[in-house]
Amino acid sequence: MNSERLFLKISILGILIAIILGAFGAHALQDIFSNYELDIWNKGVFYQIINSLGLLSFVILKKINIIQKPPFLILTIGILLFSFSLYLIAMTNVFLGPDHFIKSFLIPATPIGGSLLVLSWLLLLFKIEI
């Protein structure tokens, strides 16, 4: 499978998972999570959908030869670190407590993932091939 097809599937899967997690948050977690945890959860869903659509746009831009080597992997890792760390932080807050030691491992993943998201878009903006 070529990289374009792989990242196309990853982008579609990312959108699908975000929709499922968004519905899960709106229905199943509404009575369990506080507004604060729901806000964290929904930020993860929002950024996952937006950047999964972005990954889809990377595939299209590669296909029409706007850029030869889009930063597919950087964006994908950024999505995983940013959004999934937010999901885990929200769940850790509720199920393990706001001061649980696991959060000390999760909290740094969010800005690292966010930095990778920004980096991937900057690379695309300046057509820097990696």
Instruction: Compute the distance between CA of residue 20 and CA of residue 3 in angstroms, rounded to an integer.
Output: 25
Give the model confidence (pLDDT) of 85-106 as tens digits. 999 999 988 888 878 778 787 8
Query: What global pTM score does this model have?
Result: 0.90
The alpha carbons of the chain give a radius of gyration, in whole angstroms, of 16
DSSP for 43-95 reads: HHHHHHHHHHHHHHHHHHHHHTTS-SS--HHHHHHHHHHHHHHHHHHHHHHHH
* More confident of the two residues 49 and 130: 49
Other CB atoms within 10 A of residue 68 CB = 9
